[in-house]
Amino acid sequence: MYPFPQSVTPAVRTHVDAQAAFVNEMSKSLFRSFQQMCELNIQLAQTMLEETTLASQHVLSVDRQSELLGAASARAQPATEKLRAYQQHIARLASDAQVELARVTEQHVQNTTRTARAVVDDLARTSVEETERGIRSQQEALRTMSDPFARADGAIHARADGAAQAAQQAGQQVAQQTAQQAAQASQQVRQAGTTH
């Protein structure tokens, strides 16, 4: 069903799906607002063209010059009212678009944040498991290396034990650093979730 390789975890898939749904819904809302704005502009252009045509016909049909100014001023008032209505309609469309974008954001940000936390938790759990597995394999390798030397010389065995302890400490430091990095990533995701 998904074009992802098998190494992608279900948490990552869920997060990607949540992000895609959020972006998809936002683009739909923006497109609807843009479409309404275009329809309003077309309607204004048609109305202004009709008003201009009527005003031109009225001006051309006037016999006296004194009536010419009266005819032009009589057509200016309806055009001004139409422009005022256009401005009000644009303001209404802008506020509706803002409300719609806020609704979509509120609807999707919680889900996106939850899936991001799941990804970070999964990453932290996996890194801790991998670190512990690496430490165990290093300790086992040191034990197998130190056994032949322990029979031959007790001093070498003591050095091998010291090396094993040093390897264990290094492994623990790596595990701590990995856990700290995972915690920092989790905190960044939470902060990013609260900013949306």
pLDDT in tens, 97-151: 999 999 998 888 888 888 888 888 888 888 888 888 888 888 888 777 766 555 4
Distances (CA, A) of 95 to 27, 32, 44, 101, 158: 17, 13, 20, 10, 76
Domain ranges, residue 186: 10-195
**Contact (CB, 8 A) for 122 and 136:** no
Domain count, the chain: 1
Quick one: angle between helices 65-152 and 10-60, nearest 10? 170
Model confidence at 196, in pLDDT bands (50, 70, 90)?
low
Q: Does residue 2 form part of some domain?
A: no
Q: Does residue 5 form part of some domain?
A: no
Q: Is the pLDDT score of 39 beyond 90?
A: yes
Q: Does residue 170 form part of some domain?
A: yes
**Entry pTM:** 0.55
Q: Does residue 4 form part of some domain?
A: no
pLDDT for 157: 54
**Contact (CB, 8 A) for 95 and 35:** no
